[in-house]
Amino acid sequence: MGIFLRNCDIRDGTNTILRSVTFSMRDGERWLVTGSNDSGASALIAALAGRKEILPSDDGCYENGFGDSVDLISLEAAAWLIEEERRRDDSDFVEGGVDIGRTPRAYIAETLNQNYASAYVAGQGLENHPAVIQCGIARILDRGLKYLSTGEIRRTLFCRALVSRTRLLVLDDPFDGLDSASRETLSRLLSDGIPGTQIIVAMDNPDHIPDFVSNVLELTKGKVSFTGTREDYEASTSRNTAREANHDITDDLQEARERSQIMMGDVSRDSCETLVEMKNVTVEWSGRKVLDGIDWMLRRGEHWLVRGPNGSGKTTLLELITGDNPQVSAMRSTCSVPVGGLARRSGSSRKKWA
């Protein structure tokens, strides 16, 4: 048996998040942990991954057969890694003023066991590693981690877990931030199974349960409301209740949109205030153009969808507007990006806007 909890509390410091949780995961099972945002599902998977404390009650029990061989992959983990790379940035002390930091090649090589380390000395030849090929990151192995897109960093984290042969892999909303091709690749990989690795996936009341899932645990307002097989869950009233809750949220969002349109009134686009204007925006680092000659304008009252495959420049485009990425100041760019009437100078940080 891989994991067994009976009457256990989940704690974050002195704060008890979940009480009297009972859960068991046996060999060969692949679990989905689901629930709404306030259900406690995120706290449970964090605890299963060793990020929060699991405290048995007087008559409770907790056993974990995976030991320390557990990895959690989430948007938060990706954000933490990027933030760590930014804190370690030594661009001020590097000739040319650009420190790319660790690369996926170096980051993955850190976790190679002795057998693999001798085959891939200092990460050389990793582009031929099966996990690197499966995750589709061979072409980004030598790019700085902090320059990767959301989807690329998620795939790098996943690849590192595969290379390290983690025994339990916990995936928090694994398909978020991935383009359609990457979602299909990941779904196929999880469906085929990973030798020696068991999987727990967390998703917020998904409309479709991934094919690789065998069992489901659902939480509702901090309590386990269902635990059992996938088939039983799909046929249960608990599943139907979750769907109805999602429909209620959709209806509320639609009502909010309609109210917003009424409040905005019928404003002509020609008369709208310009919030963002980009003229011939080009962003380049390490000899690679992330954005090339972008012309774009955002006016008050407009709502835009920015879409494209992983690595196409979506995040960079947004960071040019917000100035939240300190690496923007190191980008080679030719641009005019006024935001709310404030002109952003090329190569400046947000503090230098005039």
Q: What is the pLDDT of residues 20-72, one digit of tens each?
A: 999 999 988 999 999 987 888 989 999 999 999 999 999 999 999 998 899 99
Which amino acid type is present at position 37?
N
User: Whole-prediction pTM value?
Assistant: 0.70
Average pLDDT, the chain: 80
Q: Residue 198: which residues within 8 A CB-CB, separation 6 or more?
A: 2, 25, 27, 28, 29, 30, 66, 167, 168, 169
Q: C-alpha angle with apex 43: 40 to 48, nearest 5 degrees?
A: 125
At residue 18, the pLDDT reads 94
Average pLDDT of the residues in 225-238: 87
Tell me which of 310 and 266 has the higher pLDDT.
310
Amino acid present at 225:
S
**Spatial contact of 337 and 320, defined as CB atoms under 8 Å apart:** yes
Of 59, 63, 55, 56, the residue nearest 25 (C-alpha): 63
Q: Which domains does the chain have, with CATH numbers?
A: 269-352 (3.40.50.300)
Q: Tell me the C-alpha distance between 32 and 212, whole Å.
A: 10
The pLDDT value given to residue 286: 63
Q: Which residue in 208, 230, 207, 206 sits closest to 217, CA to CA? A: 230
Distance separating alpha carbons of residues 70 and 198, to the nearest angstrom:
10
Nearest to 327 by CA among 142, 84, 80, 99: 99
**What is the pLDDT averaged over residues 273-300?**
81
Tell me the range of 21-35, 233-247, 314-328 where mean pLDDT is highest. 21-35
Residue scoring higher pLDDT (350 or 311): 311
Give dist(CA 112, CA 129) in Å, integer.
11
pLDDT exceeds 80 at position 264: no
For 277, other C-beta atoms within 10 Å of its C-beta total: 17
Rounded Cα distance between 191 and 176, Å, is: 18
Q: Quick one: average pLDDT of 237-258?
A: 59
**From CA 115, how far away is CA 208, in angstroms rounded?**
40
Beta-bridge mates of residue 72 = 170
Give 115-160 pLDDT, tens digit per residue.
Answer: 666 777 878 889 999 889 988 899 999 988 988 888 888 889 999 9
- The reported pLDDT for the residue numbered 191 is 85
The angle at the Cα of 177, spanning 274 to 144, to the nearest 5 degrees, equals 90
Find where tokens 């690329």 sit: 152
